[in-house]
Structure 1
Amino acid sequence: MADLKAMALILGGMLLAFPALASPVCATDDLGKEICLEQPAQRIAALSPGATELAWAAGAGDQVVAVVAYSDYPPAAKEVTSVGSHTRMDMERLLELQPDLVIGWVTGNPTEQLATLREMGVPVFSIEPRSFEAVSDTIERLSILAGTEAAGFAEADRFRKGITDLRARFSGADTVPVFYQVWDEPLMTVNRDHLIGEMIELCGGDNVFGHLERLVPRISAEAVIAANPEAILAGGMGEENRHWLTRWQSFPSLTATERNNLFFIPPSLVQRPTPRMLEGTRLFCEKLEVARDRRP
């Protein structure tokens, strides 16, 4: 009898030591839906390049079995099976890979395809980080669902600290009127509520189109000329394509052109809500420092 009691105590202690074996893992997505898995995800499908980067940031790169076009970072992501683009997935191919978690993009993936996955019982965790803090928070939530909390929470903290340090460094910087070009044809920018808008503000920039209502508004070249930004920053179709800045060289009366404050920023460092935004923000802040130094 004593041996049975001792064994019961041992088994009870083991169950207390390994609660994850008996409990599901849960996290709430950016649609406010709680997603629960019976066990941490082992076969993850990331349906945007940003989601792919965030899965790796969460420490779950080895569990990613499906990505979409332009999922080019980290380099290992290029070796993962592609299931189409973020705007149209090959559903048959995706389901053949038997994902136990799909990371969806709230405004980027087709709602009907995500709905189909949910109807078939595939867990879909929808994300769309719109602030620096949301980037860290998303990494943490993904790491919970993937069972990689140690790596994910460490990366989230690293990103938070980096952003906090930059914010302190540039908190007293002189304001620089800025136009950020997010697309060329049609000409598009971002408002102050966009994550890039937060980046501009952190670096001491004044987004000349920050007041516009739409998150990613269309504008005209005439509107840029009228706003007369002191610095123009742009990405392009690719990491080395700087031609979007060429058009502004034909407007010598623009302050940004006159002072040679036309700066290229690799788009993947700025336009994907991932930890690489820390590097992009540092670069953005450095460009605005150059603009300050060029003042007469």
Structure 2
Amino acid sequence: MHNLARAALILMLLVPAGMAQAHHHARCVVDDRDREVCLFNPARRIATLSPGATELTYAAGAGEQVVAVVSYSDYPPEAKQVASVGSHTRIDLEALVSLAPDLVIGWVTGNPAEQLETLEALGMPVFYIEPRTIEGVASAIERLARLAGTEAAGQQVADSFRHQMAQLKTRYAEREPVTTFYQVWDEPLMSVNDQHLIGQVMQLCGGVNVVGEQSRLVPRLDDEAVLAANPEAIVAGGMGEENRHWLTHWEQYPHLSAVANNHLFFVPPSLIQRPTPRLVEGTRILCEQLDSVRQQREAL
């Protein structure tokens, strides 16, 4: 940050006095970088630095405490009314500091590390999130609620999420496997491995990830790798909630199983690419899509 001294002064002037008052019972949680984060008072001014972090914070019952978000923080709708401080890849630190957050929710692999380190150097508590499992999503909600003092509301949402995902897991546990390719990006072509949260959702639905054994969490691939795997289903998220154009790319390969059988599927990205309670809806859509592949098999 080119004007660190000025930012520090702004923070000292605007930070709530309560942050400086040490209470006997600190609120401590472990974040997704295995760091303990402690607050002496419930957070009252929260900055969320990814759309997923914004959604999780609202899910934890702390929406009214959010004072800063980043671009594409569009759910719930009221989040669009909160001040934006740039994008998750480039944060306007002066704008953020001027809002005097007493808690920053960072994204482990999505936010610039040096910018979050700057915020920590200014004395702002940074809680890093990046749920890698279904349980991790529920746990993130509980931990955020702990920091925000909204435990009851957060616990209710976390328990409901666990219950609904468990129901889907039971429903699809015995279904026949469907070889599946999930496209997370187009140029370069990118997917996910079995350790990724989306990969785990595929497994829950009975999908067999054709690139699941890749060593990278988000591997870069080429068309030839997909053609060689010949998945029964191709699923894409696209750049927008209604934008399916990534799927048309595959139609140039009519002998690809997913193309020949019209098994090119779209799931709105916010429902499956964000680690939030709406993952229930995205999982349900994906499971139903893979079930349609099984039904067509049976009809032949």
User: Please, what TM-score do these two structures have when normalized by structure 1?
Assistant: 0.92
1:205-247: CA deviation from partner (whole Å, max 9, x where unpaired): 0000001110000111111111000011101110010110001
- The corresponding residue for 1:216 is 218
Q: C-alpha distance in 2, partners of 1:85/1:113?
A: 12
Could you list the structure 1 runs, at least 4 aligned residues long, displaced by more than 2 angstroms after superposition.
none
Unaligned ranges ≥5, structure 1:
1-20
Q: By how many angstroms is 1:22 displaced?
A: 4.6
Matched, 1:43 2:45: yes
Q: C-alpha distance in 2, partners of 1:201/1:32?
A: 26
Selected match of 2:166 from 164, 167, 175: 164
- The corresponding residue for 2:180 is 178
Amino acid at match of 2:262: N
Selected match of 1:255 from 251, 254, 257: 257
- The corresponding residue for 2:55 is 53
Amino acid at match of 1:122: M
Amino acid at match of 1:232: I
Amino acid at match of 2:227: I
- The corresponding residue for 1:287 is 289
Q: By how many angstroms is 1:197 displaced?
A: 0.4
Q: C-alpha distance in 1, partners of 2:109/2:265?
A: 29
2:175 match: secondary structure: coil
Unaligned ranges ≥5, structure 2:
1-22
Q: By how many angstroms is 1:250 displaced?
A: 1.6
2:123 match: secondary structure: coil
1:101-140 correspondence runs (5 A): 101-140=103-142
2:258 match: secondary structure: helix
What is the aligned residue count?
277
Q: C-alpha distance in 2, partners of 1:92/1:287?
A: 45
- The corresponding residue for 1:142 is 144
- The corresponding residue for 1:13 is none
1:80-99: CA deviation from partner (whole Å, max 9, x where unpaired): 00000111111111000000
Q: C-alpha distance in 2, partners of 1:166/1:113?
A: 39
Q: C-alpha distance in 1, partners of 2:152/2:95?
A: 32
Amino acid at match of 1:221: D
Amino acid at match of 2:113: T
Q: C-alpha distance in 2, partners of 1:46/1:109?
A: 11
1:263 match: secondary structure: strand
Amino acid at match of 2:58: W
Amino acid at match of 2:207: G
Q: C-alpha distance in 1, partners of 2:229/2:38?
A: 49
Selected match of 1:24 from 10, 23, 26: 26
Amino acid at match of 1:92: E
Q: C-alpha distance in 2, partners of 1:279/1:111?
A: 32
1:234-273: CA deviation from partner (whole Å, max 9, x where unpaired): 0111001011000111211111111110011101101111
2:104 match: secondary structure: strand
Sequence identity (%) = 63
Q: C-alpha distance in 2, partners of 1:254/1:111?
A: 41
1:81 match: secondary structure: coil
Q: C-alpha distance in 2, partners of 1:242/1:186?
A: 17
Amino acid at match of 1:175: P
1:226-237 correspondence runs (5 A): 226-237=228-239
1:229 match: secondary structure: coil
1:68-107 correspondence runs (5 A): 68-107=70-109
Q: C-alpha distance in 1, partners of 2:169/2:228?
A: 30
Q: C-alpha distance in 2, partners of 1:52/1:30?
A: 16
Aligned Cα root-mean-square deviation (Å): 1.0
Q: C-alpha distance in 2, partners of 1:157/1:190?
A: 27
Amino acid at match of 1:46: T
- The corresponding residue for 1:195 is 197
